[in-house]
Amino acid sequence: MSHEDGTTAENVPRLSPKRLAWRKFCRDPLALSGLIAVLLLLLPALAAPLLANGRPLMLYCDNVLSFPFLRYFFAPDSTEFLVEQVFNYLLILFPLYLFCRLIFRRARRRWCFLAVAAAVLIIPFVLTQKRMDKTDWRQIAMQLKAGDFAVFAPIPFGPFEQAAKPYLKTSATHWLGTDQVGRDVLSRMIYGSRVSLAVGFLATALAIFIGVALGMWSGYEGGRFDMLMMRIVEIIICFPTFLLLLILMALLMDKGFKQSILIVIAVIGLTDWTGLCRLARGEVLKLRNLPYIQSCVSLGVPTWRIMLFHLLPNISGPILVSFSFGIAGAIAAESGLSFLGFGVQSPTASWGELLRQAFDNPFEYWHLTLWPGVALFITVCAFNFTGEGLRKIFDPRAK
């Protein structure tokens, strides 16, 4: 059969399943706008030290060129230094990955070089020691001699720096105003996006790992183990999730844990796996009696190999959709905990913590209500729109 342009059905190029899925995703304007919004959220979070920093990115003074921000790039002076280091590490690793794709055509060479470079990049993050810095760099920059210069970030204020009077409204100096102790709101918004994204991705990944592993095992084994696991899931589902989060956060904080982001990630991840467990169990129950699974069993393939290489790839679609929706839920849960004072602890920047500062008078301190609220709304909508687009791809009944 020939087409109007003279090509036959045999000559029409066949697209791979990935390209077909991408084309279907791009036809959905809401899904595409959600993905663009997610990328626009990730970029400022990764580049936070280059966008908002009270230390000069580059300083030329007395014929000496220095980079004062660099030490604190590898050893952040923050109570949540581990999360900061992970984002800073990714800020270097991502351009390096793009460089490898341009230089190396063979995938094996590309990944070997990237693995070696990634291992080497860990060294400065481990060896650099934390140091307190109370230097007034802006005062130093004002006193530079002719020919010397200092290059600051577009937002020359750090997230912990008390740079102005409290509760200032938007101005040319502080674009989104200042908070209750005079810290720049825009700087804290940018660093707060790191907190939200870290909690969203890592807590959801932990929940997916636990839920999918237990759900697949329960669905494949069946019998008493399946019955016992489903009863445990039902008990956890019946318990109010947010109340459980508050109780666990209060207990862990009383024990003196200082890495509050890691506590929030662990608590949300350990309480949000039940839905994924039931989803994975249901998918495995549909697949375990199919001929290709039964043939693997008859050939003596180990159970772990059947679940990892034969069942998991066939249920990855619904899991990926749940991952996108789960990120939005985890970000909203973290903001709610921080708003109540049980989440990320001060002085770490958090959108929920900024909202809590405006609780006494939200109309007077509208800049602490509006901007974090808009950021949360856009973030949750972006991940939900992306998840809905993924659902339409993997659901054959969706139009």
Q: Residue 157 and residue 174: Cα distance in Å, rounded?
A: 9
Domain containing residue 341: CATH number: 1.10.3720.10
Q: Is residue 61 part of a domain?
A: yes
Q: Is residue 12 part of a domain?
A: no
**Residues 52 and 116 reside in one and the same domain:** yes
Q: Residue 75 and residue 85: Cα distance in Å, rounded?
A: 7
The enclosing H or E element of 150 equals strand 149-151
Q: Residue 49 and residue 40: Cα distance in Å, rounded?
A: 16
**Residues 68 and 129 reside in one and the same domain:** yes
pLDDT computed for residue 1 by the predictor? 47
Query: How many domains does the structure of the chain reveal?
Result: 2
**Residues 248 and 326 reside in one and the same domain:** yes
Q: Is residue 274 part of a domain?
A: yes
Type of residue found at 169: K
pLDDT computed for residue 396 by the predictor? 59
| Domain final residue, candidates 109, 127, 151 | 151
**Residues 381 and 241 reside in one and the same domain:** yes
348 — alpha (psi -120 to 50), left (phi > 0) or beta?
Answer: beta
**Residues 233 and 325 reside in one and the same domain:** yes
pLDDT computed for residue 12 by the predictor? 44
First to last CA, the chain: 27
**Residues 205 and 118 reside in one and the same domain:** no
Q: How does pLDDT run across 177-196, given as a tens digit for each residue?
A: 999 999 999 999 999 999 99
Q: How does pLDDT run across 347-362, given as a tens digit for each residue?
A: 888 899 899 988 888 8
Residue 2 has pLDDT above 90, yes or no: no
**Residues 99 and 228 reside in one and the same domain:** no
**Residues 141 and 202 reside in one and the same domain:** no
What the block records as the tokens of 306 is 């059947």
pLDDT computed for residue 257 by the predictor? 65
Q: Is residue 314 part of a domain?
A: yes
Q: Is residue 30 part of a domain?
A: no
Domain that holds residue 95: 48-151
Q: Which of 354, 77, 341 is nearest to 192 (CA)?
A: 354
| Domain final residue, candidates 97, 126, 151 | 151
What is this structure's pTM? 0.88
**Residues 189 and 143 reside in one and the same domain:** no
**Residues 131 and 228 reside in one and the same domain:** no
**Residues 212 and 359 reside in one and the same domain:** yes
Q: Residue 370 and residue 170: Cα distance in Å, rounded?
A: 12
Q: Is residue 107 part of a domain?
A: yes
Instruction: List 23's β-bridge partners, or say none.
Output: none
The enclosing H or E element of 48 equals helix 48-51
Residues in CB range of 203: below 8 A, 6 or more apart: 264, 265, 266, 268, 269, 272, 330, 334
* CA-to-CA dists, residue 92 to 58, 143, 362, angstroms: 18, 32, 39
**Residues 247 and 389 reside in one and the same domain:** yes
Type of residue found at 66: S
Q: Which of 177, 181, 239, 102 is nearest to 370 (CA)?
A: 177
